[in-house]
Every structure is written in C-alpha cells, then in structure tokens.
C-alpha cells in the first residue's frame, strides 16, 4: 500500500511537457504563464510568423517551429495550447487530437457548429481532454458573483446585463464581435444561470471592420425567466468589462478588469407625497463592496487545465460548453450578417 501511495504521489508530481501553437498577443500570455509553472516544462512553440516565433523562443530559450506538425513530430508533448486565429482552430485541433494529445483551444472552439461537434467527437473517440479557453470562468469576481447568486443575495433574479467594449483590435481579421466577444459573455450567462436559452435576437452594425460586425446588442430569454442583455463593440476609447445582475433585493455589479464586486441594495419605500402613494417602488439603499481574493484568470485557467491533464479528469470549460456558446454566437452572427 505504501509503495502504491508513493507511486501515485510521484505521478501527480510529474512534470508535463507543454507546447503552444500561436505566438501572437494571447499566445505570448500562454507562453509566459506556462514558463512560470513548477509542474510544467514549456517545451516548444509553433508559429509561421518568424518574427513572433523568434521573439518568444529567444526570450524563453525554447525550441521554435514554423510548422506545428513538425513540433508535434519532434517534441514529446503532453498537451498543447492552441492560440491561433479562429479560422485555424478546426484543422489544427483535429490534427492535435488525431495525435492523441490533450488540447486547450482558445475560444471560440471553432468557426462553425459542425466543426465544433467534430472536434468533440474526435476527443471522445481518442480519449483525450478537449478544453475551451472560456477564461472568465476563472475570474475570481465571476465566481464570487456566482456564489452570491447561489446563496440568494439578490433573491429572484430578473436580468443580467454584460458590457464588453473597447478599442478596435487590429489583430482580429476573421471574425466579428459576436464570435470573438459574445462567446465570452454567452458562456458567462450559461455559467451563472445554469439555464437553457429559449430565444435570442441581436442588432448589429459595422463601422471599422472590413467584413464583420464591430458593434452588437443582443437580448436573450432563459428558461428560468432571466433576461440577458449583451452590449459589445470595438468602437469605444475605454475598455469596459462589466456584469450587472438585477434582482428583487437589489443589484450586483462585477468589474471583471479590476475584480471588484458591489452590492447595491433596494430600499423599499412608499412615496411621502400623497400623489405618489399609488407607487410602491425601489429606491437607493446601502452599497457594499465585497472582498475578492484577486488572481490572474488565465493563470488560474491554465493551472486548472494542467491539473485536469495530470489527473485525467474533466476540465471545467469542456468542449460541450464551448459548443453551446459557439452555437448561439453563430446564430447571432448569421443574423448580424443579414443586417450589415
């Protein structure tokens, strides 16, 4: 029994070899985090852009490959982070899965629902982990918000409004805000409500992007009665990431960037003027700022994925979760294409 326990401990402590495909802005963050993990050896990076590749390989003194397939051939990798443009997710992830390697795909899972389904089926058939980079699930303020909703801080929840706005990103050419931004927020809504969406609609416009929408406002109705509102654009001079949840006891507001959570209580009162006595409404009450144990969401996400690979267990943001967000985002995106 002692020998078995020692072997199990040794297996858990095993250093895993990681590869990263894509050395752009987000890819460099994956590279940085893996390089700082004690239980991970960042083995190699692949990117056809030699300038981006050389920048990272020289900084971290690791092997670099212009072709990800050569990296897989030459490196003994336990898992891979795929941080390439969305249009490349399916062909690359399909090849990685075919080689029997665990993979974390940055959201969205793929460019189409059919591609997403095929990747999920391939992962199940081969028996490897397919995770999706819905990083907001690992944002401490989102999880604190989720706890308050579960314990009834707001009572009955009426509406969840998410704002995700900021400047135009030159790096994103192949998708619009609905596939790039809404996939984050659709997943947040599913994660917080644990309910299915009955119907959804969107209004969109294109001002700066060459092909796709760069502004969208979507409304969603959930089976539990909650109304979701998504406000997203690449046209704002300031970056805002905010979730506001309205309920019968007040409003919870989560600032995802600063990881602050506020509770604005409802103060039920009757108007003092005789002419207003017919109204019984809500007025401003106390405001509470909750303590949050802050942490980098990406670091928490990648640590959770490494743990899932080590223990051969499910990853919180599964391929199926990614497919749910993708399915609705594609539906909204197709609607948007008919408007712009």
What's the whole-number mean pLDDT along residues 106-116?
A: 96
pLDDT for the residue 174: 73
Q: How confident is the model at residue 209 (pLDDT cuts 50, 70, 90)?
A: confident
Q: How confident is the model at residue 13 (pLDDT cuts 50, 70, 90)?
A: low
What's the first-to-final CA gap in the chain, in angstroms?
67
Q: How confident is the model at residue 170 (pLDDT cuts 50, 70, 90)?
A: confident
Digit-coded pLDDT (tens) for 71-92:
999 999 999 999 999 999 999 9
User: Average per-residue pLDDT in the chain?
Assistant: 90
Within the chain, strands assigned E span 16-21, 40-46, 63-65, 79-82, 102-106, 130-133, 157-165, 197-205, 215-222, 227-233, 240-247, 250-255, 260-270, 280-290
What's the whole-number mean pLDDT along residues 153-169?
A: 95
The larger pLDDT score, comparing residue 334 to residue 262, is at: 262
Digit-coded pLDDT (tens) for 226-270:
999 999 999 999 999 999 999 999 999 999 999 999 999 987 654
Secondary structure class of 307 (helix, strand, coil)? helix
Residue 278 has pLDDT above 50, yes or no: no
pLDDT for the residue 211: 82
Give this prediction's pTM. 0.88
Secondary structure class of 294 (helix, strand, coil)? coil
Q: How confident is the model at residue 212 (pLDDT cuts 50, 70, 90)?
A: confident
Task: Give me the residues paired with residue 265 across strands.
Answer: 250
Task: Give me the residues paired with residue 228 across strands.
Answer: 160, 220
Report the candidate in 202, 159, 158, 210 with the shortest Cα–Cα distance to residue 181: 202
Q: How far is CA 183 from CA 114, 132, 153, 244, in A?
A: 16, 11, 27, 18
* Positive/negative CA dihedral, 136, 142, 147, 151: negative
Digit-coded pLDDT (tens) for 181-197:
999 999 999 999 999 99
pLDDT for the residue 283: 52
Say if CB 204 and CB 216 are below 8 A apart. Answer: yes
User: 259: Cβ–Cβ under 8 A, 6 or more apart, which residues?
Assistant: 139, 140, 141, 292, 294
Report the candidate in 158, 133, 137, 134 with the shortest Cα–Cα distance to residue 146: 137
């Amino acid at each position: 029994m002692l020998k078995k326990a020692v072997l199990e401990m040794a297996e858990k402590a095993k250093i895993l070899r990681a590869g990263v495909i894509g050395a752009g802005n987000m890819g460099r963050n994956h590279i940085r985090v893996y390089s700082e993990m004690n239980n991970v050896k960042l083995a190699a990076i692949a990117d056809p852009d030699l300038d981006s590749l050389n920048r990272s390989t020289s900084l971290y003194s690791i092997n670099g490959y212009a072709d990800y397939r050569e990296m897989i051939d030459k490196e003994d990798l336990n898992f891979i982070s795929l941080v390439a443009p969305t249009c490349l997710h399916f062909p690359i992830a399909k090849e990685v899965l075919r080689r029997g390697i665990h993979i974390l795909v940055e959201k969205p899972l793929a460019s189409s629902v059919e591609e997403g389904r095929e990747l999920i089926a391939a992962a199940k058939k081969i028996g490897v982990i397919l995770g999706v980079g819905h990083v907001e699930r690992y944002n401490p303020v989102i999880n604190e918000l989720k706890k308050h909703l579960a314990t009834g801080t707001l009572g009955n929840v009426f509406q969840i409004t998410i704002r995700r706005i900021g400047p135009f990103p030159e790096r994103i050419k192949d998708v619009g805000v609905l596939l790039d931004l809404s996939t984050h927020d659709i997943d947040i809504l599913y994660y917080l409500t644990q309910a299915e969406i009955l119907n959804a609609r969107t209004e969109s416009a294109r001002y700066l992007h060459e092909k796709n929408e760069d502004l969208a406002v979507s409304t969603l109705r959930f089976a539990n009665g909650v109304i979701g509102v998504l406000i997203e654009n690449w046209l704002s001079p300031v970056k805002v990431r905010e979730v506001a949840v309205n309920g019968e006891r007040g409003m919870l507001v989560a600032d995802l960037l600063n990881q602050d959570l506020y509770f604005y209580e409802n103060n039920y009162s009757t108007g003092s003027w005789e002419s207003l006595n017919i109204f019984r409404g809500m007025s401003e009450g106390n405001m509470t700022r909750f303590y949050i144990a802050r942490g980098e969401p990406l670091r928490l996400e990648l640590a959770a994925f490494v743990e899932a690979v080590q223990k051969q267990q499910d990853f919180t943001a599964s391929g199926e979760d990614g497919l749910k967000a993708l399915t609705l985002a594609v539906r909204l995106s197709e609607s948007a294409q008919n408007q712009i």
